[in-house]
Every structure is written in C-alpha cells, then in structure tokens.
Amino acid sequence: MNAPINTPIDQTKLEAFVTRAVDDLSAGYGGVMVSLGSKLGLYQAMAGAGPLSAEQLASRTGCDERYVREWLNAQAAGDYVSYHAVSDTYELSPEQALVLADEDSPLFIPHAWQVPASMWFDEERTLEAFRTGEGVAWGEHDGRLQCGVAAFYRNGYRASLVPEWLPALEGVVDRLEAGIEVADVGCGHGHSTVLMAQAFPRSRFHGIDVHAASIDASRRNAAKAGVSERASFDLAKATDYADRQYGLICFFDCLHDMGDPVAAARYAARVLAPGGTVMLVEPYAQDQVEDNLSTVSRMYYAASTTICCAHAISEGGTLVLGAQAGEARLAEVFRQAGFSHFRRAAETPFNLILEARLSE
C-alpha cells in the first residue's frame, strides 16, 4: 500500500527500519542454520577444538565438505563462529559453545528454534483461528512445539529450580526435605517434576497435563532418571486432578495458557494442604504494554499470539491472560481464588517466580 499523498517520509527512519527488518529476516534464516548445526553435531565437534578447516569439520562429523563450508560461512557472517582468513579455518569460542554446543548449559538455545518452526508449520491453522476466533489446543500443534518448549525450559529449570527458586519460597525446602505431596500442574515432559524428585527423595511428586503424548514423555524421563517410584504422571485438567492435600502445587509457565486460570487457582486452593504453598512461574513481564517493549517481550508476545492465547481460547477463554500477563493480573487471579498471600519470590530475565498461600 502506498503512503497517503502529502505524508512526509523520513528517509533516515525508513532506512533504519528497513535495516531492522532485514536483520530480523537474516535471523530467521540463521535459526535454520543453528538447528541444522546442532542436529548434525557441527557445534559439538567444534567445541574446544580450536581452529578447524571445513574439510576437518566435515571429516569429524561425517558430513559433506561443500555443505559444511557454506554452513560455516553463514555462521561466520552471523558472528556465530570466527573465521581466520590466513589459515582458512573456523573457530567456536568457549562463550559460543555454552550457547550452541553444551546441551547441559542453561544458555543452550538450539532447541528453542523448534518453536518458530512449529509456528510456521501451523500457519494455516493460525490464520483460520484469527478469522474465526476459535482456539488451537496445545496438542493440535506440530510436534516440534512440545519438544522445543520442553527442551528449551529444561536447562533453565535445571539451573535455577532447586538451587534458587525453591529456597526463595518461605519454608518450602524444609517441608520438601521432610516429605510432602507435590503437584506439578501442566508438567509437559516432566523435566521440572523429575528435578524436584531427584532433589527431595522423601517427597512424592505428581505431574499433571492435558496432553497425552507429554505424559508419556514424562514417564520415560522419570524412568531414565530413576525416580519413577516417587514421580507419577496423570492425564488430567488443572481443575480435576487427584486431591492429595499437597504441600506444594507448582505451575511452571502454564497458568497463562489456561482457559480459566481463576478456576485452576481456585481448585489449587481446594486441594492444598493447610499451610501449603503455590509456586507460580510465569514469563517475565511488567504490568503495562509500554513497559514490555523489549526483545524478550517481543518473543513472548509472538508465541502468545499463536500458542498461549490460542490454547486458552480452545479451553473456553474465560480469561485469556497471554504470556505477558504481568504480576498485578496474576495476583488478581489468586485473590479471586481466595489466596490472601501473594508475593514475588524471585525473578530472572525470562521468568517471574511468585508465591501464593491461603493465609499468612
């Protein structure tokens, strides 16, 4: 569409915006390269190896040299590896390796690219949802969504959940060490449940999710970690899981996806043991849109558009919070559910860690 007649164009602003748009387009292309590099073991083969030629990297990974060379040039152009012109070699720095090669690093990012891949794959479904106002349930998305989200969050939880987040809650670690029942609502692939079960052998952990394939993955992950005897998983909604009078109920990055978060919080109040705690982990957000205009918020709003809001609408959409709900709206949800205590216990650049109790 042409600009209206007599509308002045600021050439400097136009050029700056075009540059920004092309940068974003380039990043999208680069994400494909990151995923390929991770799945082919290219980053892992470069980690700690010093400068390597394309031929050497191809030999180490069993890949074709011509493809590897072009991939390396894309990486060098994006500053994801260093190129040494004199020796015609490429090098992955220790800092880059933490982000691209170390699958146990809390900064490891390649799996996250599976999420936008699923968003593209599901574009027709999303277009239809925009036009009709209908929802799209979590399980109706391309499978790369569930796998990408689980893998991306796993390392962040591994780095922070047991050493930082749980100790930030009043008295919770002592109760976990003594032995309580714990519900992990919306557990996904069960990484958070397994981490807690490994750390607190006297407690019993119960993962709940509405997605059958995720429950199956949770059981496999618990078995692999050797905690199946104290970590169970059930297909259930956030408003009908078994009442075990839980000492701790956790919602990890999921309450904002629910069609009726007040009902979920109200049910948690009903099945919470006296003196029990709800731990709510939500995407980091300020309370006003104008305070959420950042790179991380852009990512969260985009995912929320196609995934979070879409699932909440599929569940009836009584209150569609979205991934950038902010602390004030979340506090109001728990106030309506009967909780009198609500506070921010901790935060990261990506998450708010909130604590709720029925009474002081």
On the question of pLDDT at 119 being above 90, the answer is yes
On the question of pLDDT at 360 being above 80, the answer is no
On the question of pLDDT at 4 being above 70, the answer is no
User: Which of the four pLDDT bands, split at 50, 70 and 90, describes residue 5?
Assistant: low
Q: What is the pLDDT of residues 316-327, one digit of tens each?
A: 999 999 999 999
Higher pLDDT, 147 or 173: 173
Write down all domains in the chain, each with its CATH number in brackets.
11-102 (1.10.10.10), 114-357 (3.40.50.150)
Q: What is the pLDDT of residues 251-285, one digit of tens each?
A: 999 999 999 999 999 999 999 999 999 999 999 99
pLDDT recorded at residue 259: 96
pTM given for the model: 0.91
Any idea which of 65-69, 106-110, 152-156 has the lowest mean pLDDT?
A: 152-156
Helix H, strand E, coil C: the string for 164-179 is: HHHHHCCCHHHHHHHC
pLDDT recorded at residue 6: 74
On the question of pLDDT at 114 being above 80, the answer is yes
Q: In angstroms, rounded to a whole number, what is the distance separating the alpha carbons of residues 142 and 147?
A: 10
Name the phi and psi angles at 53, rounded to 5.
-80, 165
Of 150, 149, 156, residue with least CA distance to 104: 156
Distant-in-sequence, close-in-space partners of 226: CB < 8 Å, separation ≥ 6? none
On the question of pLDDT at 2 being above 70, the answer is no
On the question of pLDDT at 185 being above 90, the answer is yes
pLDDT recorded at residue 309: 97
On the question of pLDDT at 1 being above 60, the answer is no
Q: What is the pLDDT of residues 204-259, one digit of tens each?
A: 999 999 999 999 999 999 999 999 999 999 999 999 999 999 999 999 999 999 99
* 282, two tokens: 């939500």
